[in-house]
């Protein structure tokens, strides 16, 4: 694996991003237009994300299922807003073998329709509720542009779909799952997020409202990183999901859905990585430590024995560790561990060893830490991994805060966006016209409404009328 | 969850199978023709299978990736035999949004083409080899008939695809992965399997040869349960997967693929289950123990306290355990634990407790075992789970052996198949004509060639010419 050159982040952020993806072998373009391949290093990160999130979903009472990947057109059309939202970007299957299908089917762009149809067939009584299901799968949206992890026709995600007896319960679920996402971003990805409600024009097709998790990238561009939707009874009425209620009557269920996707890998890169490659937070890194013995194996028995011992000590304490026994030069080995984003490398070399030492190197800061070769290595490494995790979050939070700007006029807004984009806080009257005016500024959109924050001026930044909300705005991927 | 009536296995095996699938809520038909839904109980078994197998794959040096789900027609057509084998049964995407595609694409029926295309782009030198990748996904084959888990248009599987420097290495991989499957069936599913090579007419389209894992169901029908293919250089020549070899020349890689699918859930049912529902081997059961306190909670504090203690003791020892606190009758609770196939239920009742006892009930034999309420429950349960696992395998092996028949003439063959089908061992000359003649008997096909077994008569059972192989034959799902 050659350590390809990585473009300077400040010179060309987009190229830097692509270079990191390639150099760390996370993903590659396929010969299937608009579709990417998750290579082993990229897929391993996705597996870690799945593992952590799946545990959180199960702990909150959710169960996994698998729905078909195809949706017959009629089933898709039952709820009008959804099909209107997705029709322009679905892939249609029209032939099975050499026969034209009687009814064409689309590859799922999202599965509200299938879950609703299924729920309608299994729910009879309020005693059957709630049903809280999730599936891990890939979905297909016929996008024109492709950018690895951020936008591609096929992407990998989870979609939770739940039905409830009451609106209160469903709204609580919508909010709870947003909380799960927020916690996951903070505790595992070391990414601080804004959470809140989308405006009417930005909500999911068919939802009563959409809650969102918004992250800020290193360059000040925003990434919508997860959403949780409250549907009320829109789908349950369209798909006839009824149940015998507690009052001997018949009611429609209240419904939610929520999802995060492989796009989170893009967020990891654009929040934490640098010009030497990937930087992974320890709690999501597939490999946390790489031990690198320095010198030729046949001439360095003591070094290799110690490297093996360190490996075994770490492995036995459930630290994810590798050992690099290749014959490449030390410099090459160090660079490779760096480009892959491995949080800690341990260098075992002759000079150190003469002083009874080994060297731990942090990926995030490049700081070198010498410790005794006889130390309790698992405990040293665990401490260091915790420190790295915390420091990475703190740095991302500081940067996010530094790149959050309050503006009080359209001129200030425009100036800020043209010098340094970021999270822009500004008052808004709630009209779509004013929203559209702001969109003219580099495609800037409302990220989310900040219901608990005090208005800045009390006047809409565009029209000057009374403001209804403080909103955080930004350019988006 | 009502305990639906299950048809007698001896009266109507097919209906019994469907009834077990429904009663245990493993899967349901969807409104997408030919596609099934994996419901939570079915998906949980699939998750256990994935977890166990994934560990075995990783321990043998394989890495997971994700390939696109679509294959452009041209890419699909590069290797002639594969497309000929699969063309009649692929789903074609012809529209993206409202635009007709310039080139139609099929939903993957299998991914040799995509892996080959990818490998061609990343392999340069013998130093890059081997590459041993796997993916977990669903695939689509436009089948006419649907039977849950056994045959449906969409099914869930893993497909390993590897490339190697030499034929020897690739052939070793083909065999090794068959060994992994055999071990998985034996150690986890408690199912004895026959392994061996398929005949020319039964091998995978495009393979040099196919190795197979064959299981025998309770009714004597066979289930091809996993395959491992050796491709030689067929795909590498068609897709141009070349590398700079050790002799300063250019060579084509040698290739394999191997897969098992959600059809294994069908095998689990048809080998082990009975007329009270599912019976799961402990090492694949998502829930191994269900604790059932008997009596109303408010009147039975001692019982519920003990049930909680048992639950906690088992849970803390990594035994997968549930507690049933519902207000249903004891009989209903017992039947429910049975229909779900939970290997052990623990009944905590008043009368037992007066004698200081609790009762463990084995799902497989219904045997009741009384133990002291103060015993080391985790150790008792672990012993019992091991016994159940072993007994289930032994019973399946005994039945398999009892249903394996040696026949020396076509008349005997036909008679056996018409009285009691099973694994039929008979000599064969190797001609496809004789194979076709045998197929006239209830669609009977060669399961696999038994290269190490001595011929029975030395003469082909059909034509009487010199026999080349002893073959095991059978009717198949």
Give the DSSP letter of residue B459. Answer: B
The answer to whether the CB atoms of A68 and B38 lie below 8 A apart is: no
Three-state SS at B462 = coil
Q: What is the pLDDT of residues B354-372, one digit of tens each?
A: 999 999 999 999 999 999 9
The answer to whether the CB atoms of B31 and A107 lie below 8 A apart is: no
Q: Among A213, A215, A261, which Cα is nearest to A53's?
A: A261
- Chain B residues with CB-CB distance to A63 below 8 A: 40, 43-44
Distance CA(A358)–CA(A373), nearest Å, equals 5
The answer to whether the CB atoms of B72 and A32 lie below 8 A apart is: yes
| Residue B27 · residue B38 · CB < 8 Å | yes
- Buried/exposed code over A411-435 (b: 16+ C-beta within 10 A; e: otherwise): eebbebbeeebbbbbbbbbbeeebb
The pLDDT assigned to A4 comes to 60
Residue B349: pLDDT over 60: yes
- Chain A residues with CB-CB distance to B47 below 8 A: 64
Strands laid side by side in the A91-96 sheet? A70-72, A99-107, A91-96, B91-96, B99-107, B70-72
- Chain B residues with CB-CB distance to A88 below 8 A: 97-98
Q: What is the CA radius of gyration of chain B?
A: 25
Contacts of A165 (CB under 8 A, 6+ apart): A126, A129, A130, A243, A245, A251, A253, A254
The answer to whether the CB atoms of A133 and B40 lie below 8 A apart is: yes
Inter-CA distances, B156 with A68, A85, A267, B152, B229, Å: 10, 29, 29, 10, 19
Query: Which residue from B minimizes the CA distance to A125?
Result: B1
The pLDDT assigned to A1 comes to 41
Query: Which residue from B minimizes the CA distance to A124?
Result: B1
* Mean of all residue pLDDT scores within chain B: 96
Q: Read out DSSP for A371-394?
A: EETTS-HHHHHHHHHHHHHHHHHH
Smallest Cβ–Cβ distance between A98 and the set B28, B88, B154 belongs to: B88
| Residue A61 · residue B69 · CB < 8 Å | no
Distance CA(B94)–CA(B111), nearest Å, equals 19
The answer to whether the CB atoms of A91 and B70 lie below 8 A apart is: yes
Residue B1: pLDDT over 50: no
Distance CA(A430)–CA(A409), nearest Å, equals 16
Inter-CA distances, B48 with B44, B166, B184, B188, B381, Å: 6, 34, 12, 10, 20
Distance CA(B289)–CA(B306), nearest Å, equals 15
The answer to whether the CB atoms of A75 and B32 lie below 8 A apart is: yes
Residue B114: pLDDT over 90: yes
The residue ranking higher by pLDDT, B398 or B83, is B398
| Chain A closest-CA separation from residue B79 CA (Å) | 16
Query: Which residue from B minimizes the CA distance to A66?
Result: B38
| Chain B closest-CA separation from residue A39 CA (Å) | 5
Full pLDDT tens readout for chain A, 477 residues:
444 689 999 999 999 999 999 999 999 998 899 999 999 999 999 999 999 999 999 999 999 999 999 999 999 998 888 888 888 899 999 999 999 999 999 999 999 999 999 999 999 999 999 999 999 999 999 988 889 999 999 999 999 999 999 999 999 999 999 999 999 999 999 999 999 999 999 999 889 999 999 999 999 999 999 999 999 999 999 999 999 999 999 999 999 999 999 999 999 999 999 999 999 999 999 999 999 999 988 889 999 999 999 999 999 999 999 999 998 999 999 999 999 999 999 999 999 999 999 999 999 999 999 999 999 999 999 999 999 999 999 999 999 999 999 999 999 999 999 999 999 999 999 999 999 999 999 999 999 999 888 999 999 999 999 999 999 999 999
The pLDDT > 90 percentage for chain B reads 93
- Buried/exposed code over B176-207 (b: 16+ C-beta within 10 A; e: otherwise): ebbebbbebbeebbbbbbbbbbbbeebbbbbb
The HSE-up count of residue B206 (CA atoms within 13 Å, CB side) is 27
Q: Give the containing element (helix H, strand E) for B4.
A: none
Distance CA(A328)–CA(A75), nearest Å, equals 58
Q: How many CB pairs under 8 A join A and B?
A: 154
| Residue B466 · residue B434 · CB < 8 Å | no
Smallest Cβ–Cβ distance between A35 and the set B38, B63, B70 belongs to: B70
| Chain A closest-CA separation from residue B23 CA (Å) | 13
Tallying the residues shown for chain B, one arrives at 477
Smallest Cβ–Cβ distance between A40 and the set B64, B105, B142 belongs to: B64
Residue B456: pLDDT over 60: yes
Distance CA(A321)–CA(A194), nearest Å, equals 33
Lowest mean pLDDT among A167-171, B2-6, B302-306, B463-467: B2-6
The answer to whether the CB atoms of B43 and A28 lie below 8 A apart is: no
Backbone angles phi, psi at B150, to 5 degrees: -85, -40
Distance CA(B319)–CA(B378), nearest Å, equals 8
Query: Which residue from A minimizes the CA distance to B129?
Result: A1
- Chain A residues with CB-CB distance to B117 below 8 A: 30-31
- Chain A residues with CB-CB distance to B39 below 8 A: 65
Q: What is the pLDDT of residues B19-77, one digit of tens each?
A: 999 999 999 998 899 999 999 999 999 999 999 999 999 999 999 999 999 999 999 99
| Optimal mutation site among B45, B68, B128, B135, interface A, most CBs of chain A within 10 A | B68
Q: Read out DSSP for A137-167?
A: EEEE---S--BTTTB-SEEEEEEEEEEESSH
Distance CA(B121)–CA(B135), nearest Å, equals 18
Give the DSSP letter of residue B297. Answer: G
How high is the ipTM of this complex? 0.95
Tokens at B332, concatenated: 């209903």
Q: Which alpha helices (H) appear in B66-166, and where do they start and end?
A: 73-77, 80-86, 112-122
The pairing of beta strand B91-96 with beta strand B99-107: antiparallel
Q: Among B314, B330, B207, which Cα is nearest to B258's?
A: B207
| Optimal mutation site among B31, B107, B128, B157, interface A, most CBs of chain A within 10 A | B31
Query: Which residue from A minimizes the CA distance to B41?
Result: A65
The answer to whether the CB atoms of A43 and B66 lie below 8 A apart is: yes
The residue ranking higher by pLDDT, A4 or B194, is B194
Distance CA(B105)–CA(A245), nearest Å, equals 47
Tell me whether the omega of the peptide bond preceding residue B130 falls within 30 degrees of 0, making it cis.
yes
What pTM did the predictor assign?
A: 0.96
| Optimal mutation site among A41, A51, A66, interface B, most CBs of chain B within 10 A | A66
Distance CA(B269)–CA(A304), nearest Å, equals 51
The answer to whether the CB atoms of B44 and A63 lie below 8 A apart is: yes
The answer to whether the CB atoms of A97 and B142 lie below 8 A apart is: yes
Query: Which residue from B minimizes the CA distance to A128?
Result: B1
Smallest Cβ–Cβ distance between A97 and the set B69, B89, B138 belongs to: B89
Query: Which residue from A minimizes the CA distance to B2?
Result: A128
The answer to whether the CB atoms of A30 and B118 lie below 8 A apart is: yes
Residue B2: pLDDT over 50: no
The answer to whether the CB atoms of A70 and B87 lie below 8 A apart is: no
The pLDDT assigned to B4 comes to 60
The pLDDT assigned to A2 comes to 42
For residue A319, the tally of other CB atoms under 10 A from its CB is 19
The answer to whether the CB atoms of A97 and B87 lie below 8 A apart is: yes
- Chain B residues with CB-CB distance to A154 below 8 A: 68-70
- Chain B residues with CB-CB distance to A22 below 8 A: none
| Chain A closest-CA separation from residue B115 CA (Å) | 10
The pLDDT assigned to B144 comes to 86
């Amino acid at each position: 694996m050659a350590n390809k050159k990585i473009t300077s982040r400040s010179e060309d952020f987009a190229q830097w991003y692509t270079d990191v993806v390639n150099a760390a072998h996370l993903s590659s373009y396929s010969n299937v237009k608009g579709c990417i391949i998750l290579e082993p290093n990229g897929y391993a990160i996705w597996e870690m994300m799945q593992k952590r999130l799946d545990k959180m979903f199960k702990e909150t009472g959710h169960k996994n299922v698998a729905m078909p990947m195809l949706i017959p057109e009629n089933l898709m059309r039952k709820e009008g807003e959804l099909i209107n939202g997705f029709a322009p970007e679905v892939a249609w299957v029209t032939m099975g073998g050499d026969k034209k299908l009687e009814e064409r089917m689309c590859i799922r762009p999202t599965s509200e329709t299938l879950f609703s149809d299924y729920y309608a067939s299994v729910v009879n009584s309020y005693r059957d509720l709630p049903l809280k299901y999730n599936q891990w799968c890939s979905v297909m949206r016929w996008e024109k542009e492709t950018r690895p992890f951020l936008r591609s026709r096929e992407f990998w995600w989870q979609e939770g779909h739940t039905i409830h007896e009451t609106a209160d319960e469903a709204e609580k679920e919508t909010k709870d799952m947003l909380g799960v996402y927020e916690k996951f971003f903070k505790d595992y990805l070391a990414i601080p997020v804004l959470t809140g409600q989308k405006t009417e024009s930005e909500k999911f097709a068919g939802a009563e409202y959409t809650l969102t998790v918004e992250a800020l990238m290193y360059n000040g561009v925003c990434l919508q990183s997860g959403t949780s939707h409250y549907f009320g009874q829109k789908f349950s009425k369209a798909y006839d999901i009824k149940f015998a209620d507690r009052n001997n009557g018949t009611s429609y269920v209240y419904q939610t859905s929520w999802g995060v996707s492989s796009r989170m890998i893009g967020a990891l890169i654009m929040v934490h990585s640098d010009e030497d490659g990937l930087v992974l937070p320890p709690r999501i890194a597939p490999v946390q430590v790489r031990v690198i013995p320095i010198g030729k194996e046949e001439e360095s028995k003591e070094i290799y024995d110690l490297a093996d011992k360190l490996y075994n000590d770490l492995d036995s304490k459930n630290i994810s560790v590798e050992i690099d026994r290749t014959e490449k030069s030390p410099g090459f080995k160090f660079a490779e561990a760096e480009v892959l984003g491995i949080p800690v490398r341990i260098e075992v070399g002759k000079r150190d060893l003469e002083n009874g030492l080994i060297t731990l190197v942090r990926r995030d800061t490049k700081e070198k830490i010498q410790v005794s070769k006889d130390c309790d290595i698992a405990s040293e490494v665990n401490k260091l991994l915790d420190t790295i995790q915390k420091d990475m979050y703190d740095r991302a939070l500081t940067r996010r805060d530094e790149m959050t700007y309050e503006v009080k006029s359209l001129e200030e807004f425009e100036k800020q966006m043209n010098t340094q984009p970021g999270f822009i806080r500004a008052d808004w009257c709630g009209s779509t016209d004013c929203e559209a005016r702001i969109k003219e500024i580099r495609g800037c959109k409302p990220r989310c409404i900040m219901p608990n924050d005090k208005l800045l001026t009390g006047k809409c930044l565009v029209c000057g009328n009374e403001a209804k909300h403080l909103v955080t705005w930004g350019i988006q991927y």
